Structure 1
């Protein structure tokens, strides 16, 4: 595996498994801690730790207490420019390319550094991407698109949803720069998820750089013929077309990995030949069967069927010639029906990844429906918001059930559950943020925020309580112990806070750069006009509260106040959990990322990809 996606394989955990030591793919989530000067203590690292008691000596060792991680920099003076560059390069490598426990632990230890890498950095990358200036051209006067004889309203876009296209954009810039970055981020997301699963999806003979370059090239060049033929060019003006093509691009690694495993017979029997000593304790010693189904290895000794042994023979044993291979076809048929647990786990993993990729396709369809039916009153707004909430939570619950948290539960990977929880939480938040751009009165912001904050403050203590866990256990919904269950609840609350912060920061940054920047006409959804009035809503004639317009100022200030309310609600919920159950949400999250350093770069890539989805779904495409 290339060093860019390095994975330090741990030891086989069988015989020493607990509910509080989660899996990292097929291996334990505490790989090679001794490499960083940390003595692994599973009873300390992944228990239901709290602020004062749960981090233990291992946590202190990782977070800079004598780990010796800075020893390489001892000869580098702060005044030495070359030393500063080398230190910066080493820090970047230890955080993003080959994440190491001490570096990641230090990055998430303080609130300001944790906020910088988990909120500010993904938001800055997404906002910079959407701010790249498009080459723009004036619309033709005849309202005819490339001589096809129809206008923008007949292309499937209805105002005032996305807004009518105000300019034409350069197709090649969109394809190679804007859409190219979008696709590369999507491929990186899939690759990093496979990395956490500890499986290479690319052929070993080709390597990762070549394989991902080929897929990226295909994803970029395949739409060119669609654009070049006038009969199919209309497809390129639909956002959904590009979203579906990205979905297929992201599915390529799954298809390749599945084909590789089938080619290597990972779905059949044993994959490696056993030694002579190992074969003594298996049936292959007596039946002469090889260790693989296809029989590529030659038997190490002649077959000696057990049924052919004659106990009445005077000496030695005798073989019935016609029984030599009597049981061989039956044994092979039985083994062909046996599917290894590792392959079953991989199928579950692919299913979870497929559902996650389908979620953003459904999100695009949801955004289209919502935007085509604008304007909405308060009741309609709440219905759209919470119908999407229910959909995302159902998909999140299904994927969480597939991934599990304990060994033997389908995939059974805690870090994968961490990443997918972040993905679904942020997917929900991004579409709620985009909704804020079309709320038409302060009362709509207030009611939505009251519902959101109340759910967090009330449901967080309720779901973490012992009676609630007991009910889930009785109903066979959750099979975890109470400490493991509370750790998952604390993780979910922390992830929700990350999703709220990074999505709101991106939303505020994007409306600023798109409203005042050069791409204002490319994103008419965010091109607020002062004094822009709305059409009447139903028989009432105006939205709730009498508000009859939305503009940039209302959206900016109301969203900022909403963000402050979310931060306050999160702080209250964490204090309740600490004083009521001694559960330290932030401490648990710092321990997770400190002991599982791959969570940091993977989480950042996931967040950038989801934030790009929010912005890509509202760009107006009309090519010159």
Structure 2
């Protein structure tokens, strides 16, 4: 089988480049090839420079040097043809990312924007713009929509057309599920672990899971008594959650089958037994049993020479029991398996977040209209929930060696996931703002938070307070590195979500799927009569589109101001730090794009109205 998501398994060596000069990449340490680094031309500068040694993430300037041969392969052999060279370049970016190829791509601002901003937004908007086969709703009393007394239409609108179930299942939902499985696969790839069985391979395993995810809803739709379930978005979201959990289940079963949860796994050879105590004890089962004493030592403080023989034997049995219990714990809880459990916990929290978000959005939209106080409670409850889940996941993943998972690139990806999850909710809220003043108030709060509070969190006193409270144990330079990374990720999430939102307004309001997404039809009656606090000019397409463009411009200006403050105040180059991250961990590029497409799809999937023909 050709390599598709392969990785080079490193080692946890304790000397040379394996300790401080190379950061953790999932379970293994990313160690540059010393021979390639030795061939570095002293007159040639790297693309991005290097981190300083005291920042906790120092590594040599391997960008553009470690993979010089790969970059040269793209330029030599002109007889390969333009198409073949283009295919190899795409492979080096998406399937088997290379440092040189990714570093060269993200070095220029226009290529960086094209890949990290425009590409995921275009893929998500193109997916939701796929024209559905539609049928007219059954005519009821000559009216397509009937507003009975006391009937309240939810904020996302009611179904305006019946949809073709098979197109939805195989095309619309099929692409959605494939993107979700790709996200899980790429995250596992960063963790340096293949979740599929080696005997099956990735294509066959993912095809089986995709087939199960598509085939299971068919009998539910075909049975009239259960067909009503298929009209609820939350039911489809929950099924996707289970589909995304299948790789975790498969990976756990594989590790348990290979006894990776045990410290005792491999049998000793006769030669190995010569150099271990198993030669005398007769223990031939595992490597972990080597050098184990035949009987536990009795501590000097617990030994009483004047005690009777029965007491001495009882004391010896107590220590023996304790030693056996400790050995049993060591057998069942190896560090690698504990790290895998932490990784699965972070992944589970991330998947659970969008299920909770879907249920939350459904509740919010079905209980409109709301007063100003109710809206504030709804909005900030979700904001607090997202940030708590983000903080918990960040704590689990860590960024330093020995901290649970201890993977900086995984923390990068999950930070992007939660930042974009928060931003997509804010963008969807724009479609229900009723006056320009509401856009102004929202933008003032957002920009003020970014310009004033974010630089304060970079300061030395703030870091000292976090250290005293035992909230953060990083050095100041490492902490500032994380803060700069978070600012870039926030800006990236704002740009991607806003472009996707503006594009979706255009293609869904004027396109063929207008009746499929009544949320963007901007019918003022959809919320029912407005009460006092929510009264205003009423939302419409013009207000939402043009006010959102102005808001986007304000966000870009605020992000530029913050970056200048960080540069003049702390000499922190936010964009440069992000380019270094993407160049050092090239797998961040395809994984980040897949994550962004998946989160944007979640925003559109939550507002599609399902009523099947």
Q: Please, what TM-score do these two structures have when normalized by structure 1?
A: 0.85
Shift of the alpha carbon at 1:263?
A: 1.1
Deviations 1:112-168 (A, max 9, x none): 111111010001110110000100000012499xxxxxx9999xx962411011000
User: Where do 1:2-41 residues align within 5 Å?
Assistant: 3-15=3-15, 21-30=22-31, 32=33
Matching of residue 551 in structure 1 with residue 540 in structure 2: yes
> Which sections of structure 2, spanning at least 5 residues, go unmatched?
297-316
**1:419–1:603 Cα contact (<8 Å) kept:** yes
Deviations 1:488-515 (A, max 9, x none): 1111111111100001010001111001
Q: In the alignment, what sits opposite 1:620? A: 609
User: Where do 1:321-340 residues align within 5 Å?
Assistant: 334-338=326-330, 339-340=333-334
Shift of the alpha carbon at 1:357?
A: 0.3
Q: In the alignment, what sits opposite 2:305? A: none
For residues 278 and 322 of structure 2, the distance between their equivalents in structure 1, rounded to whole angstroms, comes to 14
Q: In the alignment, what sits opposite 1:166? A: 160
2:366 to 372, 397, 408: 372
For residues 128 and 343 of structure 2, the distance between their equivalents in structure 1, rounded to whole angstroms, comes to 32
Deviations 1:414-458 (A, max 9, x none): 111011111001111111111111111111111111111111111
For residues 181 and 238 of structure 1, the distance between their equivalents in structure 2, rounded to whole angstroms, comes to 19
**2:37–2:65 Cα contact (<8 Å) kept:** no
Give secondary structure in 2 for the equivalent of 1:289.
coil
Q: In the alignment, what sits opposite 2:132? A: 134
Deviations 1:562-620 (A, max 9, x none): 11111111111111111000111111110111010000001111111000000000000
Q: In the alignment, what sits opposite 1:236? A: 230
**2:278–2:284 Cα contact (<8 Å) kept:** yes
**1:532–1:551 Cα contact (<8 Å) kept:** no
Q: Please, what TM-score do these two structures have when normalized by structure 2?
A: 0.87
1:537 to 512, 516, 530: 530
Shift of the alpha carbon at 1:331?
A: 7.7
Shift of the alpha carbon at 1:337?
A: 2.5
Matching of residue 589 in structure 1 with residue 578 in structure 2: yes
Q: CA RMSD in A?
A: 3.3
Q: In the alignment, what sits opposite 1:564? A: 553
Shift of the alpha carbon at 1:246?
A: 0.2
For residues 560 and 430 of structure 2, the distance between their equivalents in structure 1, rounded to whole angstroms, comes to 23
Give secondary structure in 1 for the equivalent of 2:4.
helix
Give secondary structure in 2 for the equivalent of 1:201.
coil
**1:7–1:198 Cα contact (<8 Å) kept:** yes
Query: CA distance change for structure 1 residues 225 and 533 in 2, over 3 Å: closer, same or farther?
Result: closer
**1:378–1:444 Cα contact (<8 Å) kept:** no
Query: CA distance change for structure 1 residues 38 and 25 in 2, over 3 Å: closer, same or farther?
Result: farther
Q: In the alignment, what sits opposite 1:322? A: none
For residues 59 and 258 of structure 2, the distance between their equivalents in structure 1, rounded to whole angstroms, comes to 42
Q: In the alignment, what sits opposite 2:313? A: none
Q: In the alignment, what sits opposite 1:114? A: 112
User: Where do 1:518-533 residues align within 5 Å?
Assistant: 518-529=512-523
Number of aligned residue pairs: give it: 578
Q: In the alignment, what sits opposite 1:454? A: 448
Q: In the alignment, what sits opposite 2:221? A: 227
**2:64–2:100 Cα contact (<8 Å) kept:** no
**1:38–1:58 Cα contact (<8 Å) kept:** no
**1:48–1:483 Cα contact (<8 Å) kept:** no
Query: CA distance change for structure 1 residues 135 and 14 in 2, over 3 Å: closer, same or farther?
Result: same
Q: In the alignment, what sits opposite 1:58? A: 62
Q: In the alignment, what sits opposite 2:284? A: 290
> Which sections of structure 1, spanning at least 5 residues, go unmatched?
145-150, 308-325
User: Where do 1:469-548 residues align within 5 Å?
Assistant: 469-529=463-523, 535-538=528-531, 540=532, 543=534, 547-548=536-537
**2:63–2:99 Cα contact (<8 Å) kept:** no
Q: In the alignment, what sits opposite 1:88? A: 86
For residues 469 and 560 of structure 1, the distance between their equivalents in structure 2, rounded to whole angstroms, comes to 36
Query: CA distance change for structure 1 residues 229 and 281 in 2, over 3 Å: closer, same or farther?
Result: same
Matching of residue 214 in structure 1 with residue 212 in structure 2: no
Shift of the alpha carbon at 1:45?
A: 4.4
